[in-house]
Amino acid sequence: MRTMILNAACSFGHEKSIVKAKKLFTEYLNSGSELDVDLRKVIYYHGIANTGIKEWQKLFEIHQYSTVASERRQLLHGLSASKEPTILLKLLNFSIDESKIRSQNTVTVINSVAQNPIGQSLAWKFLTQNWKVFYERYSKTSFQLARLISSTTSMMNTKNELQKVKDFFHGRDKGSGTKAVDISIERIVANINWMERSPQQIKRYLDGYEYKT
């Protein structure tokens, strides 16, 4: 429960919670102090989100030396929280370099970057630029290609983005990602329709909604 509360508070910009997360994070990096197992994922994420390249490099080094698969995934998720596009692009490039990140974590990294508002467009561009790599890896039997398509398009909500997705996949063999493309296009259309509703319409809907206790 406290993990959820701290994560929500930091996500909504609660200053005291962010300061606390950052303090725990910097102490962990500088002195090796132990982090509560339940809080690690949240501390890594919001620590990186509120610090810079030096802290990012340190956490990536910790990832490199980690021998526990679940811990590596949490560290990678944290590394995806950076607000610097150049750092996120570096992480994306590392995701297909097995000397940096193990291949089984490639999709985890890209999905995590895609959920970062700053990284969403970077993740989509990375997917399209390296489509051949991902298609060869995942197109036949894996659900991973569908995950990549879904995550990199999930935040799209403009007609321009919709057209880019349609144009990219038009006439292209999508393998195991075929259904994910159709679903993603439907979701983008729904997002566009929601965004195009006037503020007055949304207000009327919310005002008329009966909250049940």
pLDDT digits (tens, 9 = 90+) for 18-32: 999 999 999 999 988
The residue to which tokens 């030396």 are assigned: 65
Question: What gap in Å lies between CA 32 and CA 29, rounded to an integer?
Answer: 6
pLDDT for res 183? 98
Answer whether 17's CB lies under 8 Å from 9's CB. Answer: yes
pLDDT for res 210? 56
Every domain of the chain and the residues it spans: 1-83, 99-212
pLDDT for res 95? 98
Contacts 24+ apart (CB under 8 A), 7-12: 7/42, 7/45, 7/46, 10/42, 10/46, 10/49, 11/46
pLDDT for res 213? 42
Give this prediction's pTM. 0.89
Which SS3 state, helix, strand or coil, does residue 38 take?
helix
pLDDT for res 34? 86
Positions of the chain with pLDDT under 50: 212-213
Rg from Cα positions in the chain? 19
